[in-house]
Amino acid sequence: MGIIMENRLTNFILSIADTTLILAQRNAEWCGHGPILEQDIAITNISLDLLGQSRNFYQYAAQIIGNNATEDSLAYLRTEREFKNLLLVEQPNGDWGQTILRQYLFSQYQYLLFEQLQNNADEQLAAICTKALKEIKYHVRWSSEWVVRLGDGTAESKERMLNAIDELWSYTGEMFIPAEYEKEMGIDFNALQNNWSAKVKALFTEATLSVPENIYMQSGGKQGIHTEHLGLILTELQYVQRAYPNSQW
């Protein structure tokens, strides 16, 4: 039982690390391309926050795994079938509206999840989540302000947000479908989903947007079954390490 629980904990930690790493990589694609300088800096800083979170989780996972595992080997030497990130975060950036909506949908979920995990029986997991909550609170505020600004803005900005909802909404359900390794992590998924839905609905109402209903939800990312986008992300992310293994900088 101890070994099984350790594997579950490791897989759970990796799933969080993978999700934050992939979203950091996606957001980093905006560096130098943001709509205005201030927001270019903001999205880049959020990328750095997410990267820092992923490092903390990878380091903890490597500590549990042992066998010379490191944060680098876990990030750079695993294949897409070994990654356990949410499908939502690997979706293309699209336009600014789609990037903003993806960030908000994830950050709102992440904040509520980490609120639960800060009281987790695993003290190191709880500490990492507690530390990250301050950053995530800003991510939620920043992205939610943009959702309102665009949703309740011009006819074009509203249309772009509606298109973003169409593109991304079917990937949100996976967040609340527990993978096998998540079932004994002390997470109340019903409360998580209900709280997230209430927060999103309230924001969408303020932004004059509607929450889709009766949408088929995609899943599989937590089990290593991904869209075609992840392989392309990892090809770029892992290129230097695979082309020049064990290089020292």
Q: Mean pLDDT of successive 10-residue segments in the chain (249 residues)?
A: 63 98 96 82 95 98 94 95 98 97 98 98 97 98 98 97 98 98 96 98 98 96 97 95 82
pLDDT attached to residue 249? 63
pLDDT attached to residue 98? 98
Query: Quick check: is 71 in a domain?
Result: yes
35: nearest Cα among 210, 160, 168? 160
pLDDT attached to residue 2? 38
DSSP of 48-97? HHHHHHHHHHHHHHHHHH-TT--HHHHHHS--TTT----HHHHS---SHH
Number of domains present in the structure of the chain? 1
Query: Quick check: is 248 in a domain?
Result: no
CATH code where residue 7 lies: 1.20.1260.10
pLDDT attached to residue 33? 84
Q: Domain range spanning residue 157?
A: 2-243
Query: Quick check: is 99 in a domain?
Result: yes
Query: Quick check: is 63 in a domain?
Result: yes
Query: Quick check: is 206 in a domain?
Result: yes
pLDDT attached to residue 200? 98
Query: Quick check: is 150 in a domain?
Result: yes
Query: Quick check: is 249 in a domain?
Result: no
Contact predicate 153/97, CB 8 Å: no
Query: Quick check: is 132 in a domain?
Result: yes
pLDDT attached to residue 5? 46
pLDDT attached to residue 248? 67
